[in-house]
């Protein structure tokens, strides 16, 4: 185990952080839990990978099918599918230790499906379930075949270098709705908290650090913090089985300082999940079908076809947006017009390179005919070899450009048809309390602008960010306009309750002074040949501002005093006495932090944190949430809550 | 980090065993083990593993002799480690034959796997296994081709060196010749100059000679004239004398 420590430390120094740690852990597991050899052209060892849906969600953002193949995985199958016996192959299992999974594993053992079994459980398996497997193995006389059993502590999904979510399957069990519904029982809440804490515990085990926990008082986040603190404390006290001891992980791994773990509840900021957005990744999540770094689109899809048109046959295309896609990594946080421009630039560079290769090809074809060509040959041989070797790169580049062209075109269609730029601008103004140049009623009553959901979102943001509640008559007016626009008003009921509740609590969330400067009403029309003609779409420039979550993090990380965060609780699992004090012992600003939103998060918050990190040198911030939803999913949850 | 609970599992197995013994359930372990041992010997997997071991042998062989193969061979190193070009060609040939046999074996396995009636999953698995073996073979072939590229490159380098030294010596010779030619041309220039000078003088002489010839001619003429004159005068003198003599004689006679 100790041999991989220097490598991990050097990995941490790189920019890529969480992805690397999780991917390294997965790769070790897939190499039969031995450190992978760096030997080029090592003998291939083949194996079969069996996972359940949880395992699949964990693996798919980190390793592509090709990478699995390169590691020797010949088949990857779902646990609960029909699997044929392949008697001369070792099988690696990566599953959650649930009842049905254990039953299925026992069944596999009885049916003698594979030669040897390497069982890896995503979170820790209980002793009794282990005994179930043991007895099944004994019955099938397969005890020697069960070669290794591991607890992987990987019960979370890493989406980006600095972002993770808890789960994708069964996320309604720990959704915002599940936590905040009125008819929730104590036992239900306990179960939800246990699930969340288990995943967070796995996260910290994988990270190899014991954090300092800060959380607000009086909500779900506090419950999670208390439970997590208790769990970490118990584990640290248990000297024999502690997962945080010095030789299994490097104590000084985190630059001699422990990370800060900030737990917040979704209720601290309800406007951001409803907000319309303008950055690329967040737009894709809002407007298209985007899960686990995968976009599913129908070709020829865009705005809804008009009512009378016959829907033409649409084919579904799936695109993976991965860490290897340099364009994506560079532009996922950029404002959309910039993205459109960059795609055009990339296309032009690609065409230039393609022409270069073609020219070289034609020159080589003139061998012996042209005096000039012959003298150029020697110079071009080197160019040609480099062109040939860069051909797969070029093809890959083309594929990515096509991918982004399609995706961006689909997004642009949505923007144009729903006038999302108008909504974005208006909401930014609402959230920063600047003066509005249009009335809310106008936008709601405008039949061309946006779907009913968009209008509802806008109105909810208005309601949430208003200093004083609108008067009854105004409210009736708005309600009528919304009903005319075919909106569902049940989310409003819930938001009213929420607003009343938060008014009793601390000061309402302040969205900071943002500013949105439109760069002229009609953005410059792109030159001919461009596919992204954005006339009529405002070219809005985002000014940097901090969302509530970012502000909270800033206060806590930099040890600033602020009424909002001053009475946050403080937990340090490493301290001997369970101290309940709110006085932080540490006076220095933190260098690493993890922000976790209980109740759900979205890409807008993530992007805001990323921008904040960029402005601070040398700080690492990881964003996590219990589930990832876009605005329409969140509105559905709010409707359900409002209908009760 | 992952926690190895294999020992815990083994402990659980023991617990279950003792528990079952206590309850009275036993398991017939011996029969199944013998049954398990009789696995098909010429199945897909052993053959695939065989191909892999062969490829590994090739790889080890190539790596073992790599240093010698690639070494430039200085004058100081002993002759034992130096490889002749013949050896190298031999290695190349052997490696190529080997690689060809391996890829044939892989193709054969693939065809057989296609023909066999087995489930889709096993087919996919075997296809993927063969792909892995092929990738491995390609990796080893790459080792070989890199080695060979270095050798061929060195060969070209040597030839380059040789050509360069040849060209250098040619250049020297040409320079020498150039010097000589320059020398010759200079001398020729002087020669031409002198010749020109002499031409002038010769012209002069020619003129003089022509003049002299003329003078001599005229002199000859004059001398001929003179001789003629002389002869004529002589004749008159002679006549006069003769006449005088005759007159004398006459006078003499007259007188007598």
Work out the average pLDDT over A422-442: 80
Q: What is the 3-state secondary structure (H, E, C) of A618-644?
A: CCEEEEEECCECCHHHHHHHHHHHHHC
From A268's Cα to the closest Cα of chain B, the distance in A is 33
Task: Give residue for tokens 């979102």.
Answer: A457
Q: Which range, of A299-303, A349-353, A404-408, averages the lowest pLDDT?
A: A299-303
Give the pairing type, strands A516-518 and A157-160: unpaired
From A89's Cα to the closest Cα of chain B, the distance in A is 8
Q: Which residues of chain A have a CB within 8 Å of the CB of B124? A: 74-75
Q: What are the tokens at A47? A: 């194996």
Judged by CB atoms closer than 8 Å, whether chains meet at A138 and B20 is answered as yes
Q: Which residues of chain B have a CB within 8 Å of the CB of A30? A: none
- Cα separation, A116 vs A133, in Å, equals 14
Work out the average pLDDT over A593-611: 92
B120 pLDDT tier (thresholds 50, 70, 90): confident
Work out the average pLDDT over A612-628: 89
Q: Which range, of A69-83, A303-317, A428-442, A525-539, averages the lowest pLDDT?
A: A525-539
- Does residue A386 or residue B162 have the better pLDDT? B162
Residue A122 is classified by DSSP as S
**Nearest chain A alpha carbon to B30:** A141
Work out the average pLDDT over B164-173: 96
**Which among A51, A49, A50, A47 has a CA at the least distance from the CA of A88?**
A47
pLDDT of residue A40: 57
- Cα separation, A506 vs A565, in Å, equals 10
Judged by CB atoms closer than 8 Å, whether chains meet at A86 and B133 is answered as no
pLDDT of residue A7: 44
pLDDT of residue A309: 47
Q: Which range, of A299-308, A341-350, A499-508, B182-191, averages the lowest pLDDT?
A: A299-308
Q: What are the tokens at A159? A: 């989406």
Judged by CB atoms closer than 8 Å, whether chains meet at B3 and A243 is answered as yes
Q: What are the tokens at A417? A: 């048809």
- Cα separation, A198 vs A628, in Å, equals 18
Judged by CB atoms closer than 8 Å, whether chains meet at B121 and A151 is answered as no
pLDDT of residue A528: 32
Q: What are phi and psi of A5, to 5 degrees?
A: -60, -50
Best residue in A1, A2, A74, A203 for a mutation probing chain B (most B CBs within 10 Å): A74
Distances from the Cα of A321 to the Cα of A73, A167, A281, A326, A366, angstroms: 22, 19, 10, 10, 42
Helix (H, G, I), strand (E, B) or coil at A94: strand
Residue A596 has pLDDT above 90, yes or no: yes
pLDDT of residue B139: 87
Top-confidence range, A500-514, B8-22, B114-128: B8-22
DSSP codes of every residue in A285-346 = HHHSEEETTEEEEETT-SSPPPTTSPPPP--EEEEE--TT-HHHHHHTTSBHHHHHHHHHHH
From B202's Cα to the closest Cα of chain A, the distance in A is 57
Residues 5-34 of B with CB under 8 A from A: 5-6, 8-9, 12-13, 15-17, 20, 27, 29, 32-33
- B79 to chain A, any CB pair closer than 8 A? The answer is no
Judged by CB atoms closer than 8 Å, whether chains meet at A77 and B121 is answered as yes
Work out the average pLDDT over A95-121: 91
- The per-residue pLDDT for range A486-513, each reduced to its tens digit, is 888 888 888 888 888 877 554 445 565 4
Work out the average pLDDT over A46-58: 91
Beta-carbon count within 10 A of B241 CB? 10
Best residue in A23, A123, A149, A250 for a mutation probing chain B (most B CBs within 10 Å): A149
Work out the average pLDDT over A580-602: 79
B196 pLDDT tier (thresholds 50, 70, 90): very high
Cross-strand pairs, A295: A290, A319
**Which among A487, A556, A590, A563 has a CA at the least distance from the CA of A256?**
A590
Judged by CB atoms closer than 8 Å, whether chains meet at A130 and B8 is answered as yes
Q: What are the tokens at A552? A: 């909270």
Distances from the Cα of B15 to the Cα of A132, A294, B4, B85, B234, angstroms: 11, 46, 19, 68, 181
Beta-carbon count within 10 A of A401 CB? 18
Q: In A495-505, which positions are buried (b, 16+ CB within 10 angstroms) versus exposed (e)?
A: beebeeebeee
Beta-carbon count within 10 A of A511 CB? 24
Judged by CB atoms closer than 8 Å, whether chains meet at B27 and A138 is answered as yes
pLDDT of residue A52: 92
| Residues A581, A583, A589: CA angle, nearest 5 degrees | 140
Residue A146 has pLDDT above 60, yes or no: yes
For chains A and B, CB pairs below 8 A equal 120
Q: Which range, of A57-61, A133-137, A288-292, A368-372, averages the lowest pLDDT?
A: A368-372
Query: Cβ(A621)–Cβ(A612) under 8 Å?
Result: yes
* Enclosing H/E stretch for A163: strand A163-165
- Give residues with Cβ within 8 angstroms of B175, minimum separation 6: none
Q: Which residues of chain A have a CB within 8 Å of the CB of B12? A: 127, 130-131, 133-134
Q: What are the tokens at A581? A: 């004090």
pLDDT of residue B155: 82
Q: What are the tokens at A139? A: 């019955």
pLDDT of residue A43: 81
Side-chain-side CA neighbours of A546 within 13 Å: the count stands at: 14
Work out the average pLDDT over A410-435: 85
Cross-strand pairs, A49: A76, A92
Largest CA distance in chain B: 221
Please tell me the total number of residues recorded for chain B in this structure: 256
Q: What are the tokens at A98? A: 């649930």
Burial class of residue B242 in the structure, from the number of CB atoms within 10 Å of its CB (0-12 exposed, 13-18 middle, 19+ buried): exposed
- B85 to chain A, any CB pair closer than 8 A? The answer is no
pLDDT of residue A227: 93
Query: Cβ(A397)–Cβ(A270) under 8 Å?
Result: no
Q: Where are the alpha helices (DSSP H) in chain B?
A: 6-23, 29-37, 44-70, 85-115, 120-255
Beta-carbon count within 10 A of A452 CB? 15
Q: Which range, of A33-37, A215-219, A233-237, A271-275, averages the lowest pLDDT?
A: A33-37
- Does residue A535 or residue B99 have the better pLDDT? B99
From B15's Cα to the closest Cα of chain A, the distance in A is 8
Q: Which residues of chain A have a CB within 8 Å of the CB of B8? A: 127, 130, 149
Please say whether the dihedral angle defined by the alpha carbons of residues A134, A139, A144 and A145, taken in this order, is positive or negative: negative
- Cα separation, A425 vs A630, in Å, equals 19
- Write the residue in B2, B39, B125 that is nearest to A86 by C-beta: B125
Percent of chain A whose pLDDT exceeds 70: 80
Work out the average pLDDT over A470-492: 85
Q: Which residues of chain A have a CB within 8 Å of the CB of B59? A: 41
- Cα separation, A147 vs A143, in Å, equals 8
Q: Which residues of chain B have a CB within 8 Å of the CB of A28? A: 2
Residue A363 has pLDDT above 80, yes or no: no
Residue A419 has pLDDT above 50, yes or no: yes
Residue B219 has pLDDT above 60, yes or no: yes
> What's the distance, CA A62 to chain centroid?
12
Work out the average pLDDT over A599-628: 90
- Does residue B74 or residue A74 have the better pLDDT? A74
- B66 to chain A, any CB pair closer than 8 A? The answer is no
B114 pLDDT tier (thresholds 50, 70, 90): confident
- B135 to chain A, any CB pair closer than 8 A? The answer is yes
**Nearest chain B alpha carbon to A8:** B1
DSSP codes of every residue in A63-82 = --HHHHHHTTEEEEEETTS-
pLDDT of residue A380: 60
Q: Which range, of A105-109, A393-397, A516-520, B183-187, averages the lowest pLDDT?
A: A516-520
Work out the average pLDDT over A606-625: 90
Q: Which residues of chain A have a CB within 8 Å of the CB of B119? A: 84
Top-confidence range, A359-373, B14-28, B34-48: B14-28
A474 pLDDT tier (thresholds 50, 70, 90): confident
pLDDT of residue A634: 92
- Does residue A94 or residue A363 have the better pLDDT? A94
- Does residue A334 or residue A248 have the better pLDDT? A334
Judged by CB atoms closer than 8 Å, whether chains meet at B2 and A153 is answered as yes
Q: Which range, of A36-50, B204-218, B233-247, averages the lowest pLDDT?
A: A36-50
Query: Cβ(B21)–Cβ(A268) under 8 Å?
Result: no
pLDDT of residue A303: 46
Percent of chain A whose pLDDT exceeds 90: 22
Q: What are the tokens at A141? A: 């006389």
A538 pLDDT tier (thresholds 50, 70, 90): low
- Give residues with Cβ within 8 angstroms of A77, minimum separation 6: A48, A49, A50, A51, A83, B121
- Cα separation, A198 vs A506, in Å, equals 30
**Which among A411, A233, A402 has a CA at the least distance from the CA of A335?**
A411
Residue B34 has pLDDT above 60, yes or no: no
Percent of chain B whose pLDDT exceeds 70: 88
Judged by CB atoms closer than 8 Å, whether chains meet at B128 and A46 is answered as yes
Distances from the Cα of A493 to the Cα of A441, A479, A497, A642, B236, angstroms: 19, 12, 7, 5, 182
Give the pairing type, strands A90-95 and A146-151: unpaired
Distances from the Cα of A181 to the Cα of A463, A491, A637, B56, angstroms: 21, 13, 10, 63
Helix (H, G, I), strand (E, B) or coil at A119: strand
From B155's Cα to the closest Cα of chain A, the distance in A is 18
Side-chain-side CA neighbours of A144 within 13 Å: the count stands at: 5
- What is the ipTM metric for this complex? 0.75
Judged by CB atoms closer than 8 Å, whether chains meet at B1 and A206 is answered as yes
- Give residues with Cβ within 8 angstroms of A377, minimum separation 6: A363, A364, A367
Q: What are phi and psi of A406, to 5 degrees?
A: -60, -50
pLDDT of residue A511: 60
Cross-strand pairs, B3: A151
pLDDT of residue A13: 46
Residue B158 has pLDDT above 50, yes or no: yes
A2 pLDDT tier (thresholds 50, 70, 90): very low
**Nearest chain B alpha carbon to A120:** B2
Q: In B32-55, which positions are buried (b, 16+ CB within 10 angstroms) versus exposed (e)?
A: eeeeeeeeeeeebbeebbebbeeb
- The per-residue pLDDT for range A378-395, each reduced to its tens digit, is 566 666 667 677 788 888
pLDDT of residue A536: 56
- Cα separation, A209 vs A214, in Å, equals 16
DSSP codes of every residue in A196-233 = HHHHHHHHHHHHT---EEEE-SSSHHHHHHHHHHHHHH
From B124's Cα to the closest Cα of chain A, the distance in A is 7
From A573's Cα to the closest Cα of chain B, the distance in A is 19
Query: Cβ(B81)–Cβ(B74) under 8 Å?
Result: no
- The per-residue pLDDT for range B75-113, each reduced to its tens digit, is 444 455 566 778 888 888 888 898 898 889 889 888 888
- Cα separation, B95 vs B141, in Å, equals 9
- Does residue B38 or residue B56 have the better pLDDT? B56
Query: Cβ(A535)–Cβ(A346) under 8 Å?
Result: no
pLDDT of residue A50: 93
Work out the average pLDDT over A164-174: 85
Judged by CB atoms closer than 8 Å, whether chains meet at A131 and B16 is answered as yes
From B122's Cα to the closest Cα of chain A, the distance in A is 6
Residue A247 has pLDDT above 50, yes or no: no
- Write the residue in B1, B8, B122 that is nearest to A248 by C-beta: B1
A560 pLDDT tier (thresholds 50, 70, 90): confident
Work out the average pLDDT over A551-573: 87
From A100's Cα to the closest Cα of chain B, the distance in A is 19
Q: What are the tokens at A354? A: 């393609």
Residue A53 has pLDDT above 80, yes or no: yes
**Nearest chain B alpha carbon to A205:** B1
- Does residue A172 or residue A286 have the better pLDDT? A286
Distances from the Cα of A464 to the Cα of A267, A319, A456, A550, angstroms: 11, 36, 12, 18
pLDDT of residue A559: 86
- Cα separation, A27 vs A150, in Å, equals 14
pLDDT of residue B90: 86
Work out the average pLDDT over A438-443: 78
Sheet strand arrangement including A146-151? A73-78, A47-51, A90-95, A116-121, A146-151, B3-4
Q: Which residues of chain A have a CB within 8 Å of the CB of B20? A: 135, 138
- B136 to chain A, any CB pair closer than 8 A? The answer is yes
Q: Which residues of chain B have a CB within 8 Å of the CB of A73? A: 128
Helices (H) and strands (E) in chain A, counts: 22, 17
Work out the average pLDDT over A229-249: 74
From B191's Cα to the closest Cα of chain A, the distance in A is 45
Predicted TM-score (pTM) of the model is: 0.78
């Amino acid at each position: 185990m100790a041999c991989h420590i220097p490598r991990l430390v050097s990995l941490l120094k790189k920019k890529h952080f969480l992805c690397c740690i999780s991917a390294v852990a997965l790769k070790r597991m897939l190499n039969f839990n031995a450190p992978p050899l760096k030997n080029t052209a090592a003998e291939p060892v083949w194996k079969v990978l069996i996972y359940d849906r949880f395992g699949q969600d964990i693996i798919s953002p980190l390793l592509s099918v090709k990478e699995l193949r390169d590691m020797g995985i010949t088949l990857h199958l779902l646990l609960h599918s029909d699997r044929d016996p392949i008697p001369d192959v070792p099988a690696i299992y990566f599953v959650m230790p649930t009842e049905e999974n254990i039953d299925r594993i026992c069944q596999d053992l009885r049916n003698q499906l594979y030669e040897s079994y390497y069982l890896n459980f995503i979170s820790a398996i209980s002793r009794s379930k282990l005994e179930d497997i043991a007895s099944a193995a004994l019955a099938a006389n397969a005890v020697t075949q069960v070669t290794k059993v591991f607890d992987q502590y990987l019960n979370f999904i890493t989406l980006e270098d600095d972002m993770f979510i808890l789960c994708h399957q069964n996320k309604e069990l720990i959704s915002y709705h599940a936590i905040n519904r009125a008819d929730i029982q104590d036992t239900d809440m306990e179960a939800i908290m246990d699930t969340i804490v288990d995943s967070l515990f796995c996260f910290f085990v994988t990270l190899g650090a014991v954090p300092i926990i800060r959380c607000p008082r009086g909500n779900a986040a506090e419950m999670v913090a208390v439970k997590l603190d208790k769990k970490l404390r118990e584990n640290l006290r248990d000297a024999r089985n502690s997962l945080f001891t010095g030789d299994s992980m490097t104590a000084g791994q985190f630059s001699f300082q422990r990370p800060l773990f900030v737990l917040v509840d979704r209720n601290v900021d309800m406007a951001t999940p409803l907000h319309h957005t303008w950055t690329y990744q967040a737009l894709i999540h809002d407007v298209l079908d985007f899960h686990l770094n995968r976009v599913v689109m129908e070709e020829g899809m865009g705005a809804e076809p008009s009512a009378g048109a016959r829907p033409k046959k649409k084919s579904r295309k799936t695109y993976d947006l991965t860490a290897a896609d340099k364009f994506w990594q560079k532009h996922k946080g950029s404002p959309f017009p910039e993205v459109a421009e960059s795609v055009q630039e990339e296309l032009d560079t690609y065409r230039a390179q393609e022409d270069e290769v073609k020219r070289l090809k034609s020159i080589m074809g003139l061998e012996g005919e042209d005096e000039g060509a012959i003298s150029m040959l020697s110079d071009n041989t080197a160019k040609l070899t480099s062109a040939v070797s860069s051909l797969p790169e070029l093809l890959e580049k083309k594929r990515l450009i096509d991918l982004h062209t399609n995706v961006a075109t689909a997004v642009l269609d949505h923007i144009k048809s729903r006038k999302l730029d108008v909504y974005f601008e208006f909401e930014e103004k609402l959230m920063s309390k600047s003066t509005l140049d249009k009335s809310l009623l106008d936008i709601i009553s405008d039949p061309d602008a946006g779907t009913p959901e968009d209008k509802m979102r806008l109105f909810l943001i208005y309601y949430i960010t208003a200093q004083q509640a609108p008067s009854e008559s105004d409210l009736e007016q708005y309600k009528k306009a919304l009903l005319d626009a075919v909106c569902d008003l049940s989310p409003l009921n819930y938001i009213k309750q929420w607003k009343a509740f938060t008014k009793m609590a601390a000061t309402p969330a302040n969205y900071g002074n943002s500013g949105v400067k439109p760069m002229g009403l009609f953005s410059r029309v792109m030159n001919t040949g461009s596919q992204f003609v954005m006339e009529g779409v405002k070219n809005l420039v985002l000014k940097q501002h901090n969302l509530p979550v970012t502000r909270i993090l800033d206060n806590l990380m930099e040890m600033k005093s602020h009424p909002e965060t001053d009475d946050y609780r403080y937990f340090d699992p490493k301290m001997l006495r369970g101290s309940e004090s709110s006085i932080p012992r540490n006076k220095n600003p933190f260098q690493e932090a993890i922000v976790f939103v209980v109740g759900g998060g979205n890409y807008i918050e993530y992007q805001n944190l990323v921008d904040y990190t960029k402005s601070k040198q040398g700080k690492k911030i990881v964003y996590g949430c219990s589930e990832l939803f876009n605005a329409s999913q969140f509105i559905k949850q709010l409707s359900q809550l409002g209908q009760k | 980090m992952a926690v190895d609970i294999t020992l815990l599992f083994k402990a659980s197995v023991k617990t279950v065993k003792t528990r079952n013994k206590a309850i009275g359930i036993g398991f017939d372990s011996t029969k199944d083990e013998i049954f398990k041992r009789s696995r098909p010997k010429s199945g897909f997997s052993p053959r695939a593993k065989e191909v892999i071991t062969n490829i590994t042998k090739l790889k080890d062989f190539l790596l073992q002799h790599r240093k010698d193969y690639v070494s430039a061979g200085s004058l100081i190193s002993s002759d034992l480690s130096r490889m002749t070009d013949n050896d190298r060609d031999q290695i190349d040939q052997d490696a190529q034959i080997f690689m060809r046999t391996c890829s044939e074996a892989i193709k054969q396995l693939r065809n057989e796997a296609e023909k066999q009636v087995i489930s889709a999953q096993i087919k996919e698995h075997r296809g993927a296994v063969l792909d892995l073996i092929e990738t491995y073979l390609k990796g080893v072939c790459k080792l070989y081709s890199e080695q060979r590229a270095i050798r061929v490159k060195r060969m070209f380098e040597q030839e380059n060196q040789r050509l360069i030294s040849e060209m250098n010596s040619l250049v020297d010779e040409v320079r020498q010749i150039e010097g000589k030619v320059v020398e010759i041309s200079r001398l020729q220039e002087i020669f031409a100059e002198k010749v020109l000078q002499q031409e002038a003088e010769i012209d002069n002489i020619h003129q003089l000679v022509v003049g002299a010839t003329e003078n001599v001619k005229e002199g000859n003429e004059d001398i001929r004239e003179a001789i003629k004159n002389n002869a004529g005068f002589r004749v008159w003198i002679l006549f006069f004398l003769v006449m005088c003599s005759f007159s004398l004689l006459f006078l003499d006679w007259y007188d007598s």
